[in-house]
Chain A
Amino acid sequence: MSDANDDVLLRVSGLRTWYPIKQGLLRKTTGYVQAATDVGFTIAPGETLALVGESGCGKSTVGRSILRLENPQEGEVFFEGRDLLALDEEALRAARQRVQIVFQDPMASLDPRMRIRDQIAEGMHSFGIGADDAERGERVARLLERVQLDPAAMDRYPHEFSGGQRQRICIARALAVEPRLIVCDESVSALDVSIQAQILNLLRELQDELGLSYLFITHDLSVVKYLAHQVAVMYLGKIVEQGPTERIFASPAHPYTQGLLAAIPSIDPDRRGGAPPVLGDVPSPSDPPAGCHFHTRCPRVMDRCRREVPSLVPVEGGASRCFLSSEDPPENH
């Protein structure tokens, strides 16, 4: 992808966020949780990139690092032409208006003691949107309608709403400051399947209407298929495969992606009971395996994988971090 500002909204490169493990009385650093290493991707305006992986892969860390809710050690996050990681406090606060986040847990995402109206309007205060209380109230009402809630909800408290409704409120809160990119950190994972569908449809509509981009973080690949244009798969802090959604689902290049797709239980009544594609457990991100991080569980592991660290190599429409991809072209599976 070219770096012209028109077709790239967000460009992340070389992102590294490691958490020091402090032990002992003097709190010496004995090691690091390697939450995210060498992460890079781009998102175009109006596009959704899904960041997919299981627990410990670092996807949430990446999402939060982009907003500087975490502090990366290395890397660049170019948003609208400026590196967010290099900004000072003042400039960062201003830049935050354009990048918002919707969290996973609808219970913890809203302050239980503030009315809905105040919570949605809070961002407006920070960025000077809306001249006075009355106008802000109007905007809150419009926002609630846009997320398909009754505007009368604004005088109520979070505990009066269900999980799905609370997520709608969180989306309204994010929209209140007119962002261009929304990071959805497992935003539908805690919802029932039937409610999930409602929220996914809402996100799609908002994207079409407002030209929003999403960084959609999830562990659920079936959700990805519906919403995402591009997919990046993470394992133990590194991106292992990247590409357009159709290609990833149709012919995944990396063995982990293949395993992930095969592990999803099918609802096709004629297909059941295969052997589990990936064995073993996810290693701890504080002590990742040497060489290729995935080699301990890979069904196609080679000797080389135990010793050398693979880098991202281009494959059709994307990239893959696997020696098999650099040696031979991806096969159809």
Chain B
Amino acid sequence: MSAVLEVRDLRTAFPSSGGPVPVVDGVSFDLNRGEVLALVGESGSGKSMTALSAMRLVPKPGRVVSGSVRLDGTELLDLPVTEMRRVRGARMAMIFQEPMTCLNPVVRVGEQVIEAIQLHEDVSKAEARARTRELFVEVGIPDPEARLDAFPHQLSGGLKQRVMIAMALSTRPEILIADEPTTALDVTVQAQILALLRDLQRDRDAAILLITHDLGIVNELADRVAVMYAGRLVEVAERRALLSDPRHPYTQGLLRSIPALARPGEALPEIPGVVPSPDQWPAGCRFATRCPKRIDRCDTDFPEETAPAEGRRVWCHVHDGEGA
């Protein structure tokens, strides 16, 4: 598989009175054609910021400080703003967590998708409308013709998200970035959207960068998984391998603390402590203060990347092949 998106040593920081605060601190990974890569982490891990950095949509006053993001060979971080705008939407599309805030409430939804199409391609309004209608069918919106003229407030959360997905796919992008696409939706609707994303991905052979904190969603959609903690990657592996044989203590802890796996009558295994904020990042491994497997070296030396098996990357001094 060839890489359609190559991220190398990406660093993004926010200024503060005490100096720049890095939220993405040296992240490198590949997204291959036709695969779904899940970027997993809890709040403060930097996963959303990584995706926004790749799109060059980091909210001010933050900025990408260094690193490289190559889309099919083109270095995105060097592009002039007008060029980048052409890439965004046409070659890289993003769907967000809250469909309510991403759709303009005073414009009909069909119109918004048509606008997105016409922005990037030279087609007539009628053509764009026909394509939008097809997209609505593809994403499973019932009664698509009527829905073209609906306003966002007339649609449910699930339908709005389908519209967002249609808008993102309208220009046939090479990459789709989905930032917590189902977190704001009910569980039954989430199941529908996950199934939809699965079908779309398979039919279009699309590359998807999926940002989520939910390992269940990871299992449903992802081919490969990258786990982030406090701004850096801690483990990258193929889905099945990560879920059945996690190597990094953080991944192990995460899997264990999922309530669904709890045995009744026992206390839920927990990861004690809290995620350190950037001004409290220790010199060594950032997970050391909460890690059950910590050794002295973890406090002083940041673990280098190791490759314990084919396709696996782990950043830990202690993992040496242990299972969950």
Interface residues of A (CB under 8 A from B): 54-55, 162-165, 192-198, 200-201, 204, 219-223, 225-226, 246, 259-260, 262-269, 271-273, 275-279, 281-282, 297
Residue in chain B with minimal CB distance to A284? B156
Q: Tell me whether A267 and B215 are in contact in the complex, defined as CB-CB below 8 angstroms, given that A197-B271, A198-B270, A219-B187 are known contacts.
A: yes
A269 touches which one: B186, B192, B219, B254 (CB < 8 A)?
A: B219
Q: Which of A164, A268, A275 has the most CB of B within 10 A?
A: A268
**Residue interface mask B192-204, A partner, CB < 8 A = 1:** 1011001000000
| A277 close to B262 (CB less than 8 A) | no
**Residue interface mask B54-84, A partner, CB < 8 A = 1:** 0000000000000000000000000000000
Q: Tell me whether A260 and B257 are in contact in the complex, defined as CB-CB below 8 angstroms, given that A193-B213, A198-B270, A269-B219 are known contacts.
A: no
Residues of chain B lying within 8 A (CB to CB) of residue A194: 42, 253-254, 257, 270-271
Chain A nearest CB from B200 CB (Å) reads 14
Q: Tell me whether A223 and B270 are in contact in the complex, defined as CB-CB below 8 angstroms, given that A265-B219, A269-B239, A273-B220 are known contacts.
A: no
Residue in chain B with minimal CB distance to A204? B267
Residue in chain A with minimal CB distance to B189? A281
| Interface majority SS (helix, strand, loop, mixed), chain B | helix
Q: Tell me whether A277 and B215 are in contact in the complex, defined as CB-CB below 8 angstroms, given that A226-B268, A272-B220 are known contacts.
A: no
The A/B interface has a contact count, at CB < 8 Å, of 131
| B213 close to A225 (CB less than 8 A) | no
How far apart sit A269 and B217, CA to CA, in the bound complex (Å)?
11
Residues of chain B lying within 8 A (CB to CB) of residue A221: 187
| A225 close to B259 (CB less than 8 A) | yes
| B268 close to A265 (CB less than 8 A) | no
Residues of chain B lying within 8 A (CB to CB) of residue A282: 156, 186, 188-189
Q: Say yes or no for B323: interface residue by CB 8 A criterion.
A: no
Q: Which of A246, A260, A269, A277 has the most CB of B within 10 A?
A: A269
Q: Say yes or no for B269: interface residue by CB 8 A criterion.
A: yes
How far apart sit A146 and B254, CA to CA, in the bound complex (Å)?
25
**Residue interface mask B170-192, A partner, CB < 8 A = 1:** 00000000000000001111111
Q: Say yes or no for B260: interface residue by CB 8 A criterion.
A: yes
Residues of chain A lying within 8 A (CB to CB) of residue B157: 55, 281
The 6 A-B pairs with the shortest beta carbon distances in the complex, nearest first, are A265-B216, A222-B260, A54-B186, A197-B257, A263-B191, A192-B42
| A263 close to B257 (CB less than 8 A) | no
Q: Which of B157, B189, B269 has the most CB of A within 10 A?
A: B189
Residue in chain B with minimal CB distance to A52? B187
Q: Tell me whether A269 and B243 are in contact in the complex, defined as CB-CB below 8 angstroms, given that A281-B156, A281-B159 are known contacts.
A: yes
| B188 close to A260 (CB less than 8 A) | yes
How far apart sit A276 and B156, CA to CA, in the bound complex (Å)?
17
Q: Say yes or no for B258: interface residue by CB 8 A criterion.
A: yes
Q: Say yes or no for B272: interface residue by CB 8 A criterion.
A: yes
Q: Say yes or no for B117: interface residue by CB 8 A criterion.
A: no
| A265 close to B270 (CB less than 8 A) | no
Chain B nearest CB from A212 CB (Å) reads 17
Q: Say yes or no for B300: interface residue by CB 8 A criterion.
A: no
Q: Say yes or no for B214: interface residue by CB 8 A criterion.
A: yes
Residue in chain B with minimal CB distance to A265? B216
Q: Say yes or no for B255: interface residue by CB 8 A criterion.
A: yes
Q: Which of A165, A196, A197, A198 has the most CB of B within 10 A?
A: A197
